[in-house]
Structure 1
Amino acid sequence: MRVQLILAMLVVASFNLNAANLTEKQQKLWLEDIDFYQNEVKTKHINPFHTLSEVEFDQYINDLKNDLAILSEVEVETRLMAITGALGDGHSNYFMMSGPHQHFPLRYKFFDNTLRVVDTTNAYRSLRGTELKTINGKSVSELFKIVSPLLPGVDNQFSAKTSFEYYLTLHKLLLGLNIVNEDEPAKFEFWHKGKVIEKEILPVSMGEFGKLSSVYPQTIPKLRNTDIAMPGIRLSYFNKKNIAYFAFNSYPKFEQVVGNCKALQTELKSAQSRYLVIDFRGNGGGNFYTGLAFSSCLLPLDQFDWQHGVYVLTDGQTFSAAMSNTVQYQQILNAKIVGVPTGGDPNHYAESYRFTLPNSKRKLSLSKRYYAFLKEPTDAIYPDIQITPTWQDYQNGKDTVLLEVLKLINQHKGQ
């Protein structure tokens, strides 16, 4: 297993020699945290050793304890992140960003196997649209092999890519993996129109990085939202309100859906919408019972074409509850799935138990339930119609997936 290879490398590696080793007091505090972590994994995860054996887990923990005297804090965190990644499910995670951290001021997005810079701070505006090639001499493919086994929120190759896009910016993680050095700019190499661009870049604060985005810059088609008092869910219409489009970006509270259901039904009845599109792209999850409440609010409306007129849109960020609701909507709403395979596995360990290490205050999560939404083994929900947006689409603000669904609906109307 790739994670185990990375852990073996971290056990014997002596890296970041310029980072300060833990003091005796810090070692004692981290030892308490590691013991606490080990007990939580064994007692709170529903099945902690479904992928990594208990013997291997204990060995990695013991190796970490024995190495504390020669490690820096960031190296301890990297090892804990790797051990948690080795548990092998997307809801068991070490959240390295729960401690002090910085980011490189770049946001990335994959288009095929090309990693593009889609947003930057103003100081690096000229890099937008370029292709990242290397960081300190390591290629993107090398970086992916090193970083991806440690990443949180990963069920399959699709969520691995989306998590990598984000965590490749996390300075502390790259420092712990000996990819960058403390207090030194990293050497980045980009390609643009056949030319190499080299930059030395320092990390910035989370506050500054947080202003950047990789969200699809959708301008085609243009959307006008109707407030439905369900935070995280936006309603828009197409074709003179014949098509109701819900951008389900995040999960409102269960009570907000139930409490505003009648008003939404009244709105949709007034619009006389015939077709229904629910967009789960970019939705990392929440409470899937809220999603079921939302579908139960829609189901009584006989105006919709429940045989041919319901579509759900997905991508590699469709994870956890959003993935669960996707497969449920396919079953109970007779929806066609369009877009990119989900980042979530429909047969998966889920429902996060979250805890905090007593001394370092670092935060983690463990899976406490198991769901099998599909009988056949698979790693994702694969769309009925698979459409992968291109870099040209992204640049032009063209939502190819949504446009294709609108085209399919218009074709059906014409039959």
Structure 2
Amino acid sequence: MRGIAAGIGDGHTFVAAPPRPRFPVEFCWFGDDLTVVRAAAAERKLIGARLLAIGEQPVAVVQSRLNWLIPQGENDGYVLARSVELLREPEVLTALGIEPVFRFLDAAETEIVVTLGPGEEPLLIAEHAPLSMHRMDEPFWFSHVAEHDAVYVQFRSYGGLEANAIRLFEALRQRPARRLIIDLRQNGGGNFLAGRQWLLVPIELLGLVAGQLFVLVGRRTFSASMVNAIDFRRETEAILVGEPIGARPYGYQENGWFTLPGSGLQVSAATRLYRFGSEGADSFHPDQRIDTSHADFVAGRDPVLEWALGA
């Protein structure tokens, strides 16, 4: 069923996987390196290791075999972002006939072979993880980066946005900063009208000029957060930094939910065509493209945020 839904092509049409325990590691693609970026306590030694193979399948083969479960009508960044989510689902590997035996290469170039099972333990970050990876379970938080006279805002979710935005602007009123950085790289969407009301308009009223407002984007910037990133580009002096956004600006959005009567599975079907860019555009591209490498991650660096802080 998930493959059938993915064949429609857009990222808002899918069969929702029932909540089940997942593998206790989380991956991210850095170029051609599929890297462990978070792990449960028992597997924390794997953070920073590169995945070479699962079962007898090289990771590139596994990636290609996942494509039938991923809508192909968005763009390459969306496919990369969605594939690492699927790799955490034991049922997906079972459907592909792949044993959950993971072969890694660590920083010392030593191979590690681990058989993983599903679990519900919280995932931890590296001890030297950059600021953008902190407080991963919080939908919205901000921090004053004193040495750069900047306020960094991690905006992962639209849940509670009104109250969170009020807190942000009250903090800025009490302690103004020379630059404001809004990080949308881990925001998978929500209500873009709320983003306009509670973030975009108040930020416009701050009167920030070029070089004072930065919006960080990437492959996981999707749906409403893509729209709000475009809003920032069009309506403010914001400089967009990072990777191309993981969605097409001209395409179908908005989730229309229904339940399959026999299985009880929840299905979303895209219900509206939005035209936030040209029909042929594969993505919305940042003003300053910066790609994070495996070496950057291992060193605890976030070159996208570093650029915004130092530009």
Verify the 8 A CA contact 2:200 2:231 in the aligned structure 1.
no
Which residue number corresponds to residue 191 of structure 1? 105
Structure 1: gaps spanning 5 or more residues: 1-79, 181-185, 225-230, 409-415
TM-superposed CA distance for 1:240, in Å, is: 6.8
Structure 2: gaps spanning 5 or more residues: none
Normalized per residue, which structure has more strand?
2
TM-superposed CA distance for 1:373, in Å, is: 0.7
Question: Which structure: larger Rg?
Answer: 1
- Aligned partners of 2:173 and 2:148: how far apart in 1? 11
| Cα separation, partners in 2 of 1:154 and 1:395, compared to 1, 3 Å | farther
Greater shift, 340-349 or 282-291, is seen at: 340-349
Deviation by residue 1:187-228 (Cα, 9 ceiling, x = unmatched): 3322234443333x24223x23xx12579964469999xxxx
Query: Which amino acid letter does the alignment assign opposite residue 206 of structure 2?
Result: L
- Aligned partners of 1:300 and 1:407: how far apart in 2? 24
Deviation by residue 1:77-111 (Cα, 9 ceiling, x = unmatched): xxx11110000000001122x16x44333222211
Are 1:203 and 2:106 counterparts?
Answer: no
Are 1:292 and 2:158 counterparts?
Answer: no
Verify the 8 A CA contact 2:142 2:168 in the aligned structure 1.
no
Query: Which amino acid letter does the alignment assign opposite residue 203 of structure 1?
Result: G
Among 180, 184, 187, the alignment partner of 1:283 is: 187
TM-superposed CA distance for 1:327, in Å, is: 0.8
Deviation by residue 1:310-365 (Cα, 9 ceiling, x = unmatched): 21101111111111110111000131110111112211210101122223221121
Verify the 8 A CA contact 1:341 1:380 in the aligned structure 2.
yes
TM-score, reference length from structure 1? 0.67
Which residue number corresponds to residue 243 of structure 1? 150
TM-superposed CA distance for 1:153, in Å, is: 9.9
Which residue number corresponds to residue 31 of structure 2? 112
Deviation by residue 1:33-89 (Cα, 9 ceiling, x = unmatched): xxxxxxxxxxxxxxxxxxxxxxxxxxxxxxxxxxxxxxxxxxxxxxx1111000000
- Aligned partners of 2:124 and 2:205: how far apart in 1? 38
Query: Which amino acid letter does the alignment assign opposite residue 197 of structure 1?
Result: I
Query: Which amino acid letter does the alignment assign opposite residue 252 of structure 1?
Result: G
Verify the 8 A CA contact 2:8 2:71 in the aligned structure 1.
no
Tell me how many residue pairs correspond in the alignment: 307
Which residue number corresponds to residue 212 of structure 1? 123
Among 97, 102, 122, the alignment partner of 1:178 is: 97
Among 133, 149, 157, the alignment partner of 2:76 is: 157
TM-superposed CA distance for 1:142, in Å, is: 0.8
Which residue number corresponds to residue 272 of structure 1? 176
- Aligned partners of 1:222 and 1:135: how far apart in 2? 26
Which residue number corresponds to residue 258 of structure 2? 355
Normalized per residue, which structure has more helix?
1
Which residue number corresponds to residue 82 of structure 1? 3
Q: How does 1:259-338 map to 2 (within 5 A)?
A: 261=166, 264-293=168-197, 294-302=199-207, 304-305=208-209, 307-338=210-241
Greater shift, 164-173 or 232-241, is seen at: 232-241
Query: Which amino acid letter does the alignment assign opposite residue 105 of structure 1?
Result: P
TM-superposed CA distance for 1:175, in Å, is: 1.3
* RMSD, aligned CA: 2.9
Query: Percent identity between the aligned chains?
Result: 29
TM-score, reference length from structure 2? 0.87
Verify the 8 A CA contact 1:241 1:272 in the aligned structure 2.
no
TM-superposed CA distance for 1:238, in Å, is: 3.1
Query: Which amino acid letter does the alignment assign opposite residue 92 of structure 1?
Result: T
